[in-house]
Structure 1
Amino acid sequence: MIYIKKLRVRPKRTQPYNMCGAQLTAMLSCWAATSDFHGQEACKEAAETLFHCMRTTPLPKKSHKPTINYHLARLGKKIQ
């Protein structure tokens, strides 16, 4: 019989969900190119595409936390 005092499993790392990254990059690069952060004329199109993307894109669903550590702890009590 194997005795394991503490056994934990690390969850898989997933890539973060980037909803409107391209539109945000376009707006920030427009701001950097014009050096005018308060002006609305030069970057109006980039701002409108970003706002449209943020309004229409649904939020990602929250992923469930893996329960493997809970089950390992339960089984560990029965093994000992």
Structure 2
Amino acid sequence: MHIKRIKVRPKKNVTVAPCGPELASMLGCWAANGDLHSINACSQASQALFECMRTAPMKMAARRPTINYHLARLGKNLK
């Protein structure tokens, strides 16, 4: 099957999660201690994540078209 009029847009730059390192640090601490309820062992990592989440700017993600939208759009070209 060959579709003549399909264009592929280049991928946009991937944004990095603003609190990714802090989350990785806390999950690493939990994995190292083996207990998710260990308050004292991971308090510094959890406090850093809390502060990052509190101060990180919140932006609304743009809605991406669903698969049904794309199927309907491509269906016009397949007939």
**Normalising TM by the smaller chain, what interval?**
0.5 to 0.7
Q: CA deviation at 1:33?
A: 0.9
The root-mean-square deviation of aligned C-alpha atoms, in Å, is 2.5
Larger gyration radius, structure 1 or structure 2:
1
Q: CA deviation at 1:54?
A: 0.4
Q: CA deviation at 1:27?
A: 0.5
Residue equivalent to 1:34: 33
Cα deviation per residue 1:12-52 (whole Å; 9 max; x = unaligned)?
23213311011111101111111111121110110011011
User: TM-score, normalization: structure 1?
Assistant: 0.61
Asked whether the equivalents of residues 17 and 60 of structure 1 are also in contact (C-alpha less than 8 Å), the reply is no
Residues 44-55 of structure 1 aligned to structure 2 (within 5 Å) = 44-55=43-54
Asked whether the equivalents of residues 26 and 46 of structure 1 are also in contact (C-alpha less than 8 Å), the reply is yes
Higher RCO by CA contacts (8 Å cutoff, separation 6 or greater):
1
Residue-pair matches, total: 62
Q: CA deviation at 1:60?
A: 4.0
Deviates more, 1:45-54 or 1:5-14: 5-14
